[in-house]
Amino acid sequence: KNEVEQSPQNLTAQEGEFITINCSYSVGISALHWLQQHPGGGIVSLFMLSSGKKKHGRLIATINIQEKHSSLHITASHPRDSAVYICAAGGGSQGNLIFGKGTKLSVKP
């Protein structure tokens, strides 16, 4: 069992739909990251959170520390949101992150 699990692995949506990507982790964390990676591109940090909820534009990230679960929501999805979204958990005393396998999102016009 992976220490960081994401679901779904693949997601296809129509433009305008509300999207949710889930992440469950079994490691102790000081922070959980949601990252975005376009094909052939580098990694962009979307959110870094240790509690509660954060919002940036159409993106919302929530985390439940007790349940060790986080969600990334995209409202009014757009084709430019098509990318791989990666959940990474860790921090602790050493800090290195453990990455989920990513969710490949494709938003159709």
Partner 1 sequence: AAGVIQSPRHLIKEKRETATLKCYPIPRHDTVYWYQQGPGQDPQFLISFYEKMQSDKGSIPDRFSAQQFSDYHSELNMSSLELGDSALYFCASSRGRPTRGQYFGPGTRLTVT
54 near partner 1, rule: CB under 8 A: no
Binding to partner 1 by residue 33, rule CB under 8 A? yes
**C-alpha Rg value of the chain to the nearest Å:** 13
* Residues 53/64, Cβ–Cβ less than 8 Å: no
Q: Which of residues 75-94 bind partner 1 (CB under 8 A)?
A: 86, 88, 91-94
DSSP string, 64-109: ETTTTEEEEEESS--GGG-EEEEEEEE-TTT--EEE---EEEEEE-
The nearest distance, CB 56 to partner 1, in angstroms, is: 15
Is 66 among the residues that bind partner 1 (CB under 8 A)?
A: no
Q: Residue numbers of the site for partner 1 (CB under 8 A)?
A: 30-31, 33, 35, 40, 42-45, 48, 50, 86, 88, 91-102
